[in-house]
């Protein structure tokens, strides 16, 4: 069958309702009798709670209820870790409300329910919480001294420590002709989706409906069921339209317990819409990594080994992502290179800041920055061109699949396929690397120009399973129900493309349904660039199974063998006579299915649920290149060109992959130049609104030149796809820092921390 849809740049089916204002976001959900929640949040980074007086608030007209820890005490259990758990993390987990101590500015102390959000915020003014402030710990090194203990029970601020290693690291450093040791730091920042978090919860006749569930609704339902001691099948999680995820949205946060709790206790629908001030202190932060790293090389630039210590500032509690951010920094610190020996210590360090979780390419943005900067420094020391140094060490296609060894606590890292040198070559070609000599210069206005490059590899498509359910009705229409969720990825289009091709129907006949836990009993959700790999292959698998059933039913009716029939554009043809008359329509086959005898194997309606399973990860990879100009007097950086080359195995919809690359790069440019969640010594967040937390605007982001390669399909799934959501952002910090360092190298500047603010650049230049 000729493929028609996979690989085509089809515009998004969902865009019409977004562009015409018809989408339904969680704040659009309005129910009769609905009341509004807001939260008393700690103004202190570290303090004991002495007393909470809610009397004045409860006496205010319009205030419905105030719940504190005492009200939830009988149910109080910590919020469990979803990913990268470690036993030592358990005593550091967060409860839905603070009991006797607060551990970051924003720590929820009480939930207030009122007739309106206005009244609820008025009530916050009169709730009197007496705190006994304690000294805050805001620095990793200070925390590690354990002079001030944030969680008394474990008695340490080091929530986890382990070492991953592969090869003989001591031998590598004994054999080294060149070593260099550096300390790198990445800036704490986070995802800021246009739509903040929020939920509406209704409790009626023993059934609990939760609007606003995103990302991992099946998992969150399981957690809520456990925390509330409430039957899972009586909970219905509904997603609605979503204005961006980026890793931070849809995890199980304290509010995800408290709002349903309030709805049940009050028997009234409760809405909570996070505002931006809350978002910046309450939703997960990310990227706060300190790394000491040392590289051993031969004089010709061959890497012999890398050893490192990665310290993750986890904030006041371990949240649902467990050790993920520092663990993933360590997991891919060696990158797409032959690194025969690697050893890395991973440290999860508690501080009095907001808890940490994933943000688009968690740990990988950080490790790429650390490694690629170090490689540029080594290249300069050894007098080798940075591109040449990389080509010398990149894993070759002939080495695939490549086992990079035990770089994670839970197993080996195995790169499934790839032509890494080719992606770098393409990026160099696009930026004009060979023709640009020298690679740095000063223009007439006194600005310093430089080219920077970086390469990356990024794990995608995490298992263990994902589901899809397909139902074909008597009209021949195909309904596909997904276990993955959609925060803006465009699955209503891509999954329809996959279904149409895999089944043999037109795309117009396919409707994608997603975001309701009632659609399919199990679903893994959407994160870590797994949607197309896991969800897409689940759709493909369900379609394959469905096609088999259709052809079997048709062949019985037509008294022939299934092998003699073809399903194409929603109709059954005799093989070899596809241009002739159709023998049956899909709707007619659906009718056959209903009439088929119950003793037959292919009995029943045309409904199939399939689960695609995967125990290995697919690895996307690529290279970025940038040309920047730096004003040495003001420290202002202009990005003149930015190139993203990524190979994702196979693009279902190149237009949307391009969109992911551009969006990712824009987000990474913001992260690298502008965004930082700055705390003062007392643990106060100084970048608490968009006045001070600076997101990139259209004037800060140059046109992104995105190249999508499909040279190395993944052998791990039938579609050959790899995740495409994070390639645009992974190498932004590394590439821009390399470009700026290259430009300013004559002035003695080497970037080892982010972000690259004008003030920071000028400080480097004057020191």
CB of 190 to another protein, least distance (A): 16
Task: Select 60 or 228, whichever has its Cβ closest to another protein.
Answer: 60
Task: Select 636 or 641, whichever has its Cβ closest to another protein.
Answer: 636
CB of 757 to another protein, least distance (A): 7
Rounded CA gap, 219 and 522, in Å? 9
Q: In the structure encoding, which two tokens stand for residue 595, read together? A: 């009439």
CA 693 to chain centre: 20
Task: Select 280 or 468, whichever has its Cβ closest to another protein.
Answer: 280
The bridge status of strand 108-114 relative to strand 63-68 is antiparallel
- Locate all alpha helices (DSSP H) within 484-635, ordered by sequence: 491-503, 537-558, 586-595
Task: Select 26 or 308, whichever has its Cβ closest to another protein.
Answer: 26
CB of 765 to another protein, least distance (A): 10
Task: Select 145 or 763, whichever has its Cβ closest to another protein.
Answer: 763
Asked if residue 430 has a cis previous peptide bond (ω within 30° of 0), the answer is: no
CB of 61 to another protein, least distance (A): 12
CB of 766 to another protein, least distance (A): 8
Whose CA is closest to 236, among 255, 253, 213? 213
Burial of 91 (0-12, 13-18, 19+ CB in 10 A): middle
Please give the full DSSP string across 113-146, using - where no structure is assigned.
EESSHHHHHHHHHH-EEEEEE------HHHHHTT
CB of 693 to another protein, least distance (A): 10
Task: Select 146 or 633, whichever has its Cβ closest to another protein.
Answer: 633
Rounded CA gap, 703 and 713, in Å? 28
Strand partners, 143: none
Task: Select 503 or 674, whichever has its Cβ closest to another protein.
Answer: 674
CB of 210 to another protein, least distance (A): 24
Measured torsion, CA atoms of residues 591, 596, 601, 602, in degrees rounded to the nearest 10: -10
Rounded CA gap, 500 and 494, in Å? 10
DSSP 301: S
Give yes or no for a contact between 37 and 268, defined as CB atoms under 8 angstroms apart: no
What's the chain's length in residues?
A: 767
CB of 634 to another protein, least distance (A): 5
Helix (H) or strand (E) holding 759: helix 758-766
Q: Locate tokens 């940038």: which residue?
A: 626
Task: Select 247 or 688, whichever has its Cβ closest to another protein.
Answer: 688
Binding site for another protein (CB under 8 A): 117-118, 121-122, 125, 275-277, 633-636, 674, 676, 678, 686-687, 689, 691-692, 694, 696-697, 699-700, 757-759, 762-763, 766
Rounded CA gap, 492 and 500, in Å? 12
Task: Select 453 or 637, whichever has its Cβ closest to another protein.
Answer: 637
Task: Select 107 or 676, whichever has its Cβ closest to another protein.
Answer: 676
CB of 758 to another protein, least distance (A): 6
Measured torsion, CA atoms of residues 27, 28, 33, 37, in degrees rounded to the nearest 10: 0
CB of 687 to another protein, least distance (A): 6
């Amino acid at each position: 069958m000729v493929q028609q849809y996979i690989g085509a740049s089809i515009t998004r089916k969902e865009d019409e309702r977004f562009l015409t204002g018809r989408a339904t976001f969680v704040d659009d959900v309005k129910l009769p009798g609905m009341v509004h929640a807001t939260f008393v949040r700690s103004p202190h980074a570290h303090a004991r709670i002495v007393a909470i007086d809610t009397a004045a608030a409860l006496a205010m007209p319009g205030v419905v209820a105030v719940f504190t820890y005492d009200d939830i005490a009988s149910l109080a259990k910590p919020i469990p870790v979803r990913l990268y758990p470690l036993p030592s993390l358990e005593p550091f987990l967060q409860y839905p409300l603070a009991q006797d101590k607060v551990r970051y500015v924003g720590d929820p102390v009480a939930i207030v329910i009122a007739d309106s959000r206005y009244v609820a915020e008025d009530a916050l003014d009169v709730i009197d919480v007496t705190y006994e402030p304690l000294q805050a710990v805001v620095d990793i090194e200070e925390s590690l001294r354990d002079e001030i203990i944030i969680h008394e029970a474990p008695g340490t601020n080091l929530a986890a420590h382990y070492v991953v290693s592969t090869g003989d690291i001591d031998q590598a450093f004994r054999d080294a002709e060149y070593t260099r040791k550096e300390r790198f730091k990445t800036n704490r920042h986070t995802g800021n989706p246009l739509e903040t978090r929020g939920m509406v919860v209704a409790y009626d006749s023993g059934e609990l409906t939760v609007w606003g569930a995103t990302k991992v609704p099946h998992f969150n339902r399981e957690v809520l069921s456990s925390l509330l001691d409430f039957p899972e099948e009586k909970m219905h999680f509904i997603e609605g339209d979503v204005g961006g995820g980026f890793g931070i949205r849809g995890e199980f946060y304290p509010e995800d317990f408290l709002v349903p709790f309030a709805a049940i206790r009050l028997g009234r629908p409760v809405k909570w819409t996070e505002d931006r001030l809350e978002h910046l202190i309450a939703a997960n932060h990310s990227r706060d990594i300190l790394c000491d790293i040392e590289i051993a090389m031969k004089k010709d630039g061959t890497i012999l080994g890398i050893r490192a210590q990665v310290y993750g500032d986890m904030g006041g509690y371990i949240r649902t992502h467990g050790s993920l951010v520092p663990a993933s920094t360590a997991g891919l610190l060696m990158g797409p290179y032959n690194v025969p020996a690697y050893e890395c210590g991973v440290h999860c360090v508690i501080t009095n800041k907001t808890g940490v979780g994933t943000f688009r390419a968690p740990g990988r943005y950080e490790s790429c920055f650390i490694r690629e900067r170090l490689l540029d420094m080594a290249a300069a020391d050894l007098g080798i061109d940075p591109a040449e140094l990389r080509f010398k060490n990149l894993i070759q296609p002939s080495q695939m699949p490549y086992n990079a060894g035990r770089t994670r606590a839970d197993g080996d890292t195995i790169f499934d396929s790839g032509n890494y040198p080719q992606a770098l070559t393409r990026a160099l070609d696009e930026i004009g690397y060979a023709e640009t000599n020298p690679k740095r210069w000063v223009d007439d206005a006194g600005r310093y120009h430089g080219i920077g490059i970086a390469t990356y590899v990024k794990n995608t498509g995490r298992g263990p399973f994902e589901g899809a359910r397909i139902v074909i009705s008597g009209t021949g229409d195909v309904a596909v129900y997904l276990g993955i969720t959609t925060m803006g990825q465009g699955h209503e289009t891509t999954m329809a493309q996959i279904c149409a091709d895999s089944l043999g129907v037109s795309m117009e006949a396919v409707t994608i349904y997603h975001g309701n836990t009632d659609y399919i009993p199990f679903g893994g959700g959407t994160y870590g660039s797994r949607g197309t790999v896991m969800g897409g292959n689940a759709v493909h698998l369900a379609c394959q199974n469905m096609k088999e059933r259709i052809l079997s039913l048709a062949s019985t009716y037509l008294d022939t063998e299934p092998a003699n029939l073809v399903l194409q554009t929603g109709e059954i043809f005799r093989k070899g006579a596809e241009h002739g008359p159709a023998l049956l329509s899909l709707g007619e086959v659906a009718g056959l299915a209903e009439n088929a005898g119950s003793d037959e194997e292919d009995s029943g309606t045309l409904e199939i649920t399939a689960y695609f399973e995967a125990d290995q990860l697919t690895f996307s990879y690529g290279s970025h290149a940038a040309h920047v100009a730096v004003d040495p007097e003001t420290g202002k950086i202009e990005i003149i060109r930015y190139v993203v080359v990524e190979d994702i195995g196979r693009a279902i919809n190149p237009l949307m992959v391009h969109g992911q690359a551009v969006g990712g790069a824009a987000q990474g440019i913001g992260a690298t130049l502008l965004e930082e969640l700055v705390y003062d010594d007392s643990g106060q967040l100084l970048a608490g609104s968009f006045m001070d937390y600076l997101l990139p605007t259209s004037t800060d982001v140059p046109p992104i030149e995105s190249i999508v390669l499909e040279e190395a399909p993944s052998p791990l799934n039938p579609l050959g796809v790899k995740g495409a959501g994070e390639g645009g952002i992974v190498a932004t910090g590394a590439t821009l820092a390399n470009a700026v360092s290259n430009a300013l190298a004559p002035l003695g500047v080497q970037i080892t921390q982010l972000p690259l603010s004008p003030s920071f650049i000028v400080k480097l230049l004057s020191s």
